[in-house]
Amino acid sequence: MLSILLVTFPFFALVLCGYVATRRNLLPQAAIPGLNAFVLYFALPCMLYRFGAGTPIAQLLDASLVAVYLLCALLMVALAVVVARRGPGRRLGWNDASFGALVATFPNTGFMGVPLLVALLGAQAAGPTIVTIAVDMLVTSSLCIALSRLDGADEHGAARAARLALKGVLANPLPWSIALGALASALGFALPKPVMGTLSLLADAASPVALFTIGAVLARSQMHSATRTPLADYVPVALIKLVLHPLLLGLIGLGAIALGLPLERFTLTVVVLVAALPSASNVAMLAERFGADNGRIARIILLSTVLAFFSFSAAVAWLT
């Protein structure tokens, strides 16, 4: 366990550094969008391209993995929405319920998961992790955004939201970098050395800047939250993300293997650890954009990130 904490500690420590820097006004809040832009449009796409190009194409086109991970994501969204809409306590509208489902289902795979899992399990963990990013960006987020519009009086709200979500996916550089990396892997294509050197410098910057930015985004969201959110509105969702999500994915994966699906045990271990990651920090920005309770979403992300230092490390110790 100590050896695992020695690997995970620096990742969570960088998140804490970004959080403290923002809370103490050492990092101006006006600088956070610039950090986000650097990570989203430069560093992270380069890192994903490099991993994708260096991963055998068969790993990136693993239909069994896509089926298992997608089924789990759909079940998680359905469960979270039903609990929020019909469960005991305060019942939420479609907008808040849908973004609660998204934050309970979408792990912080891009900013945290890829570098952390590669550090823990080796470069072979990159392929399955990249596949989960593609599923969550293309399907999970689009579905939840579409569901969030069902509160609107306009009966075409969900369809419009789905089109906006699709437009957002197409404008996001991450799916394109994954696709280009997969194409390079399939063709055996290698970039010229000067270009690859530049790309590698940007890729190496992705992990530290992304982790620092997570902390900054969490601090900014908390500082801007104008309402007090009851514990019952966000603690259960954080626990669902950290406990139920990986357990459900593990059970579905083991069931798929028992039924004869060609899903490797190592691949299942990787994606279960992906599910054990804290909630994706970009959900807070999406919730703000679509008018959901951003304070609640930010608290879920913050709590899941704090608790994941212990729960994720325990999951790694248990599974590896």
Can you read off the two tokens belonging to residue 199?
């790309």
- pLDDT bucket at 234, cuts 50 / 70 / 90: confident
How large is the angle between the packed helices 63-86 and 141-148, nearest 10 degrees?
Answer: 30
> What mean pLDDT comes out for the span 25-52?
91
- pLDDT bucket at 173, cuts 50 / 70 / 90: confident
Higher pLDDT, 312 or 159: 312
With 60 as the cut, is the pLDDT of residue 40 above it? yes
Cα angle for residues 288, 42, 132 (degrees, 5° grid): 65
- What pLDDT is stored for residue 162 in this prediction? 63
Alpha carbons 312 and 272: distance in angstroms, whole number: 10
With 90 as the cut, is the pLDDT of residue 203 above it? yes
Poorest-pLDDT segment among 26-35, 83-92, 99-108 = 83-92
Which listed CATH number (3.30.410.10, 1.20.1530.20, 3.30.470.20, 1.10.287.610) goes with 2-319? Answer: 1.20.1530.20
pTM over 0.85, yes/no: yes
Q: Which of 156-160, 287-291, 316-320 has the highest mean pLDDT?
A: 316-320
Higher pLDDT, 218 or 130: 130
> What mean pLDDT comes out for the span 206-211?
91
Alpha carbons 15 and 169: distance in angstroms, whole number: 26
- What pLDDT is stored for residue 157 in this prediction? 58
Higher pLDDT, 50 or 146: 50
> What mean pLDDT comes out for the span 152-168?
61
Higher pLDDT, 114 or 228: 114
pLDDT tens digits for 245-272? 999 999 999 999 999 999 999 999 999 9
Poorest-pLDDT segment among 64-68, 72-76, 187-191, 287-291 = 287-291
Question: What residues does each domain of the chain span?
Answer: 2-319
- What pLDDT is stored for residue 148 in this prediction? 83
- What pLDDT is stored for residue 153 in this prediction? 46
